[in-house]
Amino acid sequence: MDKQTIKVVAKEFYRYLDNEKGAAFNTRRAYRSDVEDFIRFVEQSAADAVDHDTIRAYIVNIYKGLKKSSLSRKVSAIKMFFKFMKKKGYIDENTALIIRSPRIEKHLPKFYTIDEMFHFLDFLPRDGWLNIRNRAIFELMYSTGMRASEVLSMDFEDLHLDGMWARVMGKGGKERVLPFGDKAKEALEAYLAIVGKMDKFSTNKALFINFRGDRLTYRGLLRIMKKHQIKAQLFKNLSLHGIRHSFATHMLDNGADLRGIQELLGHSKLSTTQRYTHVSMDKLMEIYDKSHPRR
């Protein structure tokens, strides 16, 4: 494939990610950035055609400056791009298949203990509609284990207070129905009671908005969480995803079935959920010490 054609095909690939693949927003943004980075390298190279030698040269060029996780994602993006081109008939052979992804060290997910999580939630201010909104978001996230991107993409129609469940669209366009508890319901009721009287919600379908009336962004919610962590004197370096990790770990520690947690989290593979069996080893050891007759 020549250099000009690959730029045209890339635009079609981006539309494919948006409309057909059903990839999450952050995944689409990352893959688009990765493919564009690859195309810039191709344009600056002396090669006339884009083949496996071009891909190898690109990987060698970026290898030293990236973490293994970032390099692995870039390799995945290129492989998906070339798979798309072969599927659409632009190339006869997927030359990216020969590129191996680097091995990534598996890190155990960071999470709050139950006491830390309760302190995080109970320390949230209860005055002002923005604080009430924040409480509703974090209570809902911890009660359901949904991703931050999922809770932020929710519309009013996705929330069912009477039945105490929420509908979310996960990775790959997979819909899940998630139950939530009394604490989350109470926080959501307080939030809805206020926003129902606000004009900026009259024409807005988004469930959680910012002070300008736009849908609250991931970056905005992360900034809120970091500020609150400091105020609550919780200095563990926890991301928004850490609330999801906390949910899964606490559920497992309290006897929830691994398959059930898999369904709630929306993992396509059980092996993804099994990461939490490692972080719960202390709990297993505690049960063992209490139960085994010859410890």
215 is catalytic: no
- Enclosing H/E stretch for 207: none
107 is catalytic: no
DSSP-derived letter for residue 165 is E
Residue from 183, 241, 275, 283 carrying the catalytic annotation? 241
**How would you classify residue 145: left for phi > 0, otherwise alpha for psi between -120 and 50, otherwise beta?**
left
CB atoms within 10 A of CB 143: 22
267 is catalytic: yes
Residue from 147, 176, 228, 245 carrying the catalytic annotation? 147
Residue from 133, 228, 244, 250 carrying the catalytic annotation? 244
52 is catalytic: no
- Compute the half-sphere exposure of residue 222: CA atoms within 13 Å on the CB side of its CA: 12
Do 277 and 283 meet the contact criterion of CB atoms below 8 Å apart? no
> Amino acid identity, residue 82?
F
Picking from 43, 58, 144, 41, the residue whose alpha carbon sits closest to that of residue 95 is 58
Do 120 and 250 meet the contact criterion of CB atoms below 8 Å apart? no
- Where do the H-state alpha helices sit in the chain? 3-16, 25-44, 52-63, 68-87, 114-122, 129-144, 148-152, 182-195, 218-231, 241-253, 258-265, 270-273, 275-279, 281-291
Residue from 79, 171, 215, 226 carrying the catalytic annotation? 171
Picking from 86, 87, 83, 70, the residue whose alpha carbon sits closest to that of residue 34 is 70
Do 40 and 65 meet the contact criterion of CB atoms below 8 Å apart? no
Q: Match 């939630």 to its residue by tokens.
A: 121
**Catalytic amino acids?**
147, 171, 241, 244, 267, 276
